[in-house]
């Protein structure tokens, strides 16, 4: 039988397999590193893109916050203007009332009564005067009761003065009213 030594051949085969294994392992490591690097670059790009989008949204939110504050300021200004308009409109409507009130005061004062002072606070009217008798004060109160522009007279003070002329100082409180229109009476 022939004597063939297979050890160097096996050694060479083993070295070849080791070299192939090493090159495959190196190639696999390089490929893994490349894949990981590409994944890192891709994910970093996506994160960067999302951060840019978030920043755009934050900028828009801050811009809208400023716009909301402006809108709130405008609404506040609108409310102030509307309240001023309401006040002006109510003053315009009440404008002739004072004329009617003074006219009514003149009409209701009976003979023998002299008014010394009139003060109005809101709808309350304080009237100071001098009357020749207490009966004239009661007649004045009855006239106020029948008036369209004044209501609920109340006599606060009446002082009789004794002297050459018998007279009484009085303080009368009444409230301003507005006559009802035909529409209000029907409704």
28 within domain boundaries: no
> Per-residue pLDDT tens for 97-136?
888 888 888 999 999 899 999 999 888 999 999 998 888 9
Question: Both tokens of residue 108?
Answer: 């209701």
Say which CATH number the domain at 130 has. 3.30.1360
Query: Mean pLDDT, to the nearest integer, of 13-25?
Result: 94
Q: What is the DSSP string of 36-100?
A: HHHHHHHHHHHHHHHHHHHHHHHHHHHHHHHHHHHHHHHHHHHHHHHHHHHHHHHHHHHHHHHHH
The pLDDT, as a whole number, for residue 101 is 86
Q: Does 20 score more than 90 pLDDT?
A: yes
Q: Does 3 score more than 90 pLDDT?
A: no
118 within domain boundaries: yes
Q: Using alpha carbons only, give the angle 101, 107, 111 rounded to the nearest 5 degrees.
A: 135
78 within domain boundaries: no
pTM over 0.75: no
124 within domain boundaries: yes
Query: How far apart are the C-alpha atoms of 48 and 41, rounded to whole Å?
Result: 10
- Count of the separate structural domains present in the chain: 1
Query: How far apart are the C-alpha atoms of 36 and 39, rounded to whole Å?
Result: 5
Where residue 53 falls among pLDDT bands split at 50, 70, 90? very high
CA 134 to chain centre: 55
> In the chain, what percentage of residues exceed pLDDT 90?
57
Radius of gyration of the chain (CA): 52
Where residue 177 falls among pLDDT bands split at 50, 70, 90? confident
Q: Which residue has the higher pLDDT, 74 or 134?
A: 74
Question: Both tokens of residue 165?
Answer: 């002329």
174 within domain boundaries: yes
156 within domain boundaries: yes
80 within domain boundaries: no
147 within domain boundaries: yes
Query: Mean pLDDT, to the nearest integer, of 79-103?
Result: 87
> In the chain, what percentage of residues exceed pLDDT 70?
92
Domain that holds residue 158: 104-180
């Amino acid at each position: 039988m022939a004597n063939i030594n297979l050890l160097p051949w096996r050694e060479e085969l083993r070295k070849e397999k080791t070299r192939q294994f090493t090159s495959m392992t190196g190639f696999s490591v390089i490929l893994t590193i490349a894949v990981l690097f590409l994944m890192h670059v891709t994910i970093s790009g996506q994160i960067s893109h999302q951060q840019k989008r978030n920043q755009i949204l934050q900028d828009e939110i801050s811009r809208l916050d400023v716009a909301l504050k402006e809108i709130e300021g405008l609404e506040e200004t609108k409310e102030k203007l509307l309240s001023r308009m309401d006040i002006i409109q109510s003053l315009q409507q009440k404008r002739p009332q004072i004329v009617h009130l003074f006219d009514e005061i003149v009409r209701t004062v009976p003979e023998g009564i002299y008014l010394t002072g009139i003060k109005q606070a809101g709808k309350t009217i304080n009237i100071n005067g001098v009357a020749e008798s207490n009966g004239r004060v009661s007649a004045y109160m009855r006239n106020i009761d029948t008036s369209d522009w004044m209501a609920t007279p109340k006599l606060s003070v009446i002082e009789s003065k004794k002297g050459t002329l018998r007279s009484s100082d009085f303080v009368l409180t009444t409230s301003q009213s507005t006559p009802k229109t035909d529409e209000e009476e029907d409704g």
